[in-house]
Amino acid sequence: MIESSDWQFLITTGAARDYGEMRFLTHNDQFAELKAIWEAFLHDGSLNEHLTRRLHEIEQRDSIFPNIDPGYWAVGASEAREETTAVDVPPSESATADPIQSN
Protein backbone atom coordinates (compact mmCIF):
# COMPACT_ATOMS: atom_id res chain seq x y z
CA MET A 1 0.00 0.00 0.00
CA ILE A 2 2.81 2.40 0.83
CA GLU A 3 4.20 2.01 -2.68
CA SER A 4 0.78 2.29 -4.30
CA SER A 5 0.62 5.18 -6.75
CA ASP A 6 -2.55 6.64 -5.26
CA TRP A 7 -1.75 6.25 -1.55
CA GLN A 8 -0.14 9.64 -1.09
CA PHE A 9 -2.88 11.27 -3.18
CA LEU A 10 -5.60 9.71 -1.02
CA ILE A 11 -3.99 10.90 2.21
CA THR A 12 -2.85 14.40 1.23
CA THR A 13 -5.80 15.61 -0.83
CA GLY A 14 -8.45 14.50 1.60
CA ALA A 15 -10.38 12.89 -1.29
CA ALA A 16 -10.50 9.60 0.56
CA ARG A 17 -8.36 10.30 3.59
CA ASP A 18 -10.27 7.98 5.93
CA TYR A 19 -9.99 5.09 3.48
CA GLY A 20 -6.29 5.69 2.88
CA GLU A 21 -5.54 5.91 6.60
CA MET A 22 -7.62 2.80 7.33
CA ARG A 23 -5.81 0.81 4.64
CA PHE A 24 -2.42 1.95 5.90
CA LEU A 25 -3.26 0.99 9.48
CA THR A 26 -4.65 -2.38 8.36
CA HIS A 27 -1.48 -3.19 6.44
CA ASN A 28 0.66 -2.03 9.34
CA ASP A 29 -1.28 -4.22 11.79
CA GLN A 30 -1.00 -7.23 9.46
CA PHE A 31 2.74 -6.71 9.12
CA ALA A 32 3.09 -6.47 12.91
CA GLU A 33 1.16 -9.74 13.29
CA LEU A 34 3.39 -11.53 10.77
CA LYS A 35 6.47 -10.12 12.48
CA ALA A 36 5.24 -11.45 15.84
CA ILE A 37 4.67 -14.90 14.30
CA TRP A 38 8.21 -14.83 12.86
CA GLU A 39 9.67 -13.75 16.20
CA ALA A 40 7.81 -16.58 17.97
CA PHE A 41 9.28 -19.02 15.45
CA LEU A 42 12.79 -17.64 15.98
CA HIS A 43 12.40 -17.90 19.74
CA ASP A 44 10.87 -21.39 19.92
CA GLY A 45 12.05 -22.99 16.69
CA SER A 46 8.45 -23.88 15.85
CA LEU A 47 4.94 -22.43 15.96
CA ASN A 48 2.15 -23.50 18.27
CA GLU A 49 -1.17 -24.65 16.83
CA HIS A 50 -2.79 -21.22 17.10
CA LEU A 51 0.06 -19.41 15.29
CA THR A 52 0.30 -22.13 12.64
CA ARG A 53 -3.44 -21.84 11.96
CA ARG A 54 -3.23 -18.03 11.87
CA LEU A 55 -0.29 -18.10 9.45
CA HIS A 56 -2.20 -20.52 7.21
CA GLU A 57 -5.23 -18.18 7.24
CA ILE A 58 -3.03 -15.24 6.23
CA GLU A 59 -1.37 -17.28 3.48
CA GLN A 60 -4.74 -18.35 2.08
CA ARG A 61 -6.08 -14.80 2.13
CA ASP A 62 -3.04 -12.95 0.78
CA SER A 63 -1.16 -15.46 -1.36
CA ILE A 64 -1.34 -13.62 -4.67
CA PHE A 65 1.92 -15.09 -6.00
CA PRO A 66 2.04 -18.64 -4.58
CA ASN A 67 4.69 -19.88 -7.02
CA ILE A 68 7.29 -17.22 -6.27
CA ASP A 69 10.16 -18.42 -4.10
CA PRO A 70 11.21 -15.62 -1.68
CA GLY A 71 14.58 -17.36 -1.47
CA TYR A 72 15.45 -15.76 -4.81
CA TRP A 73 15.91 -12.48 -2.96
CA ALA A 74 17.97 -13.89 -0.09
CA VAL A 75 21.57 -12.78 0.32
CA GLY A 76 23.76 -14.98 -1.85
CA ALA A 77 20.82 -16.49 -3.75
CA SER A 78 22.01 -15.32 -7.16
CA GLU A 79 25.44 -16.85 -6.55
CA ALA A 80 23.84 -20.13 -5.48
CA ARG A 81 21.67 -20.20 -8.62
CA GLU A 82 24.73 -19.55 -10.78
CA GLU A 83 26.56 -22.45 -9.11
CA THR A 84 23.54 -24.74 -9.58
CA THR A 85 23.24 -23.75 -13.23
CA ALA A 86 26.94 -24.39 -13.78
CA VAL A 87 26.56 -27.88 -12.30
CA ASP A 88 23.25 -28.73 -14.00
CA VAL A 89 24.11 -27.57 -17.51
CA PRO A 90 27.18 -28.97 -19.29
CA PRO A 91 29.63 -26.19 -20.30
CA SER A 92 29.06 -26.78 -24.00
CA GLU A 93 25.34 -26.08 -23.58
CA SER A 94 25.49 -23.28 -20.98
CA ALA A 95 26.48 -20.60 -23.48
CA THR A 96 23.55 -21.35 -25.77
CA ALA A 97 20.96 -22.45 -23.21
CA ASP A 98 17.82 -20.34 -23.15
CA PRO A 99 17.12 -19.62 -19.43
CA ILE A 100 13.39 -19.27 -20.11
CA GLN A 101 13.21 -22.60 -21.93
CA SER A 102 15.24 -24.39 -19.24
CA ASN A 103 12.82 -23.46 -16.42
Domain ranges in the chain?
7-88
Residue-wise pLDDT for 39-93, tens only, equals 999 999 999 999 999 999 988 888 778 888 878 777 777 776 666 655 555 555 4
Calpha distance 94→25 (Å, rounded): 48
Residue 103 has pLDDT above 50, yes or no: no
Rounded average pLDDT over 24-51: 94
pLDDT at residue 86, rounded to an integer:
55
